[in-house]
Amino acid sequence: TVSFDCVAKIYGQKTDGSWEEEIIISHVAWINSASFSANGRHLVTASVDSTAKIYSRRDSGSWEEKCIISHNYNVISATFSPDSRHAVTASNDGTAKIYGLKTDGSWIEKAIISHKSSLKSANFSDDGCLVVTTGTDGTAKIYGQTKNGSWVEKAVVPHEGAAESTALSTNGHHLVSPFPHNELRMYKLSMNR
């Protein structure tokens, strides 16, 4: 759970079916979201205090802070890739940051995606090989992971206004964006994956 009281709480279910508090994660301002990784081993929070925090579950079952991702303004969202090995944040400072999980369990910055103004969203494709960001600057940007693990810009999709969010098709060939006034736009992408 997340709250305006500046904390996130993880509760776990015990063998008898009851629930118990496992950890309280504190920020210095309210928290916009918290998301688990697909494998349930990691949690990322996004806060108005300009940070996202990644916590990982130890083999003992306890949780420990592994990484603080800093931005210059509010972090509006943070989420994991489907394979649980990457996280992406979106901030009102006009950047998205991609972090990757190292073999020692630590997290390292892999890429910064810059827009000219605030971001609305940042999401992974279904296969986790692409990240799409949406900015109030009228663009969506698509970054892809290369064979050496780096992330590079693959496409910039201009919009006539600020799209609220974007989503990639499963095969990564189409992008859909909802716009105000009940309008939905689909784009066919031409790029090397």
Are the C-beta atoms of residues 132 and 175 closer than 8 Å to each other?
yes
Looking at residues 90-94, what average pLDDT do you find? 96
Tell me if 152 is assigned to some domain.
yes
Q: In degrees rounded to 5, what are phi and psi of residue 109?
A: -70, 130
Annotate 7-26 with DSSP letters as a single string. Answer: EEEEEEE-TTS-EEEEEEEE
What is the chain's length? 193
Exposed/middle/buried for residue 139 (C-beta within 10 Å: 0-12, 13-18, 19+): middle
Give residue 43's domain range: 7-188
Tell me if 98 is assigned to some domain.
yes
Tell me if 2 is assigned to some domain.
no
pLDDT in tens, 163-173: 666 766 666 66
Question: What's the token pair of residue 138?
Answer: 């009228």
Question: What's the token pair of residue 15?
Answer: 């063998």
Q: What total of structural domains would you count in the chain?
A: 1
Q: Is it the case that residue 16 has pLDDT exceeding 80?
A: yes
Residue 168 confidence (pLDDT)? 66
CATH of the domain at 146: 2.130.10.10
Model confidence at 188, in pLDDT bands (50, 70, 90)?
low
Dist CA 167 CA 147 (whole Å): 23
Dist CA 180 CA 176 (whole Å): 14
